[in-house]
Amino acid sequence: MKKVYNLGVIGLSPGNGHPYSWAAIFNGFNKEEMAKCPFPVIPEYLGKQDPATMRIEEGKVTHIWTQDPDVSKQVVRASLIENVVEKAEDLIGEVDAVLLARDDGENHLKMARPFIEAEVPILIDKPLTDQAADLKEFARYYREGKKILSCSSARYAKSITDLKERNDLGRILTASGVTPKYWRTYGIHTIEAIYAVMGGGLESVQNVGRHNEEIVHLKYADGRHAVIQAFAGIRRGNLTFYGENGTASPSDPDAFFQFKAMLRSFIRMLDTGAPSFDWRETVEMAKVVIAGRMSQEEGGRKVLLKEIPA
């Protein structure tokens, strides 16, 4: 008989409806109440799923906390959650693991710390953090054996995993990606997709853009490159890899598939005690986010990743 984990979801940040969608992937959803979700794309892609197969049956979101009790109650009705708690820490002792569904990395350590120290496994929305001091703390917790998973769902896009398995571009020399919104919150999607295909080993990051129009050069220690642009004024982005034998522009708008694969990966970590990819990648990707912010704040200085301790 499969173990079913009781999960708690916490947090809600502007422009981010993950509590609705992540809980629905475990619990199912109420169609009429989900239609009231303030993020129309969520009921749209949930509505396309087969109710008989959409759920991850090894988990159930039983508790929720957000900053706004009225929002919490709305998510409860939409995503079939049983309990609203007054404080995030009230989840300790009530659930087997926690989903931290905010994407503002500067707040992640503060919100995650009570659960980490209470030995409650936690999935932290991307990016893990955009603060150097907080990254050092997260790395210490991981070395102590705490169960932490943080990643972008872009890692699990079908087109990204297919490209990695196909491996028909030869050695990839550079990649170019453009993302809407902001480097600190959305740059990580493109960073993670690049890592999933090209791997780690970055040496430096240089941000030659400006606020809300950031152009970031990533240089690998072995001479490869990538350039990521994060522009707040655009609606959609893209990503292209350039190899010795050809180019590829993976595109996969299936957010539901990506989220479900990411959440399954978290369940596997609960089962096995270990993440499905190397924690050092998570640390290095957080360093890239931090270095891009540092570079922009310091007039476009090239920041070496070794400057950021972890």
Predicted TM-score (pTM) above 0.85 = yes
Q: What pLDDT was estimated at residue 276?
A: 81
Q: Model confidence over 108-165: pLDDT tens digits?
A: 999 999 999 999 999 999 999 999 999 999 999 999 999 999 999 999 999 999 998 8
C-alpha–C-alpha distance, residues 162 and 201, integer Å: 22
C-alpha–C-alpha distance, residues 217 and 292, integer Å: 9
What lies within 8 Å, CB to CB, of 194 at 6+ separation is 175, 177, 218, 226, 228, 239
Q: What is the mean pLDDT of residues 243-249?
A: 96
pLDDT at residue 104 is higher than 70: yes
pLDDT at residue 15 is higher than 80: no
Q: What is the CATH number of domain 155-252+286-307?
A: 3.30.360.10
Q: What is the mean pLDDT of residues 186-192?
A: 94
* pLDDT confidence bin for 310, thresholds 50/70/90: confident
Q: What pLDDT was estimated at residue 1?
A: 64
Q: What pLDDT was estimated at residue 277?
A: 84
C-alpha–C-alpha distance, residues 122 and 233, integer Å: 33
C-alpha–C-alpha distance, residues 15 and 299, integer Å: 28
Q: What is the mean pLDDT of residues 46-60?
A: 94
Q: Model confidence over 287-298: pLDDT tens digits?
A: 999 999 999 999
Select from 217, 215, 214, 183 the least CA-distant residue to 203: 217
CA distances from residue 251 to 113, 159, 164, 193 in whole angstroms, order as listed: 36, 6, 14, 11
Q: What is the mean pLDDT of residues 165-171?
A: 90
Q: Model confidence over 25-41: pLDDT tens digits?
A: 999 999 999 999 999 99
C-alpha–C-alpha distance, residues 25 and 114, integer Å: 25
C-alpha–C-alpha distance, residues 92 and 113, integer Å: 12
Q: For 282, what's the count of Cα atoms within 13 Å in the CB-facing half-sphere?
A: 23
Break the chain into its structural domains and give their ranges: 5-153+256-276, 155-252+286-307
Show the beta-strand stretches assigned E in 209-271. Answer: 213-220, 225-231, 238-243, 246-248
Q: What is the mean pLDDT of residues 66-87?
A: 95
Q: What would be the CATH architecture of the domain defined by 5-153+256-276?
A: 3-Layer(aba) Sandwich (3.40)
pLDDT at residue 3 is higher than 90: no
Q: What pLDDT was estimated at residue 10?
A: 96
Select from 95, 90, 103, 97 the least CA-distant residue to 39: 103
Helices marked H in the chain: 18-27, 31-34, 41-47, 69-79, 108-117, 132-143, 158-166, 183-198, 255-272, 279-297
pLDDT at residue 52 is higher than 70: yes
CA distances from residue 60 to 25, 54, 97, 263 in whole angstroms, order as listed: 9, 13, 10, 12
Q: What pLDDT was estimated at residue 287?
A: 98
Q: What is the mean pLDDT of the chain?
A: 94
Q: What is the mean pLDDT of residues 240-259?
A: 92
Burial class from Cβ neighbours inside 10 Å (0-12, 13-18, 19+) for residue 36 reads: exposed
Q: What pLDDT was estimated at residue 133?
A: 96
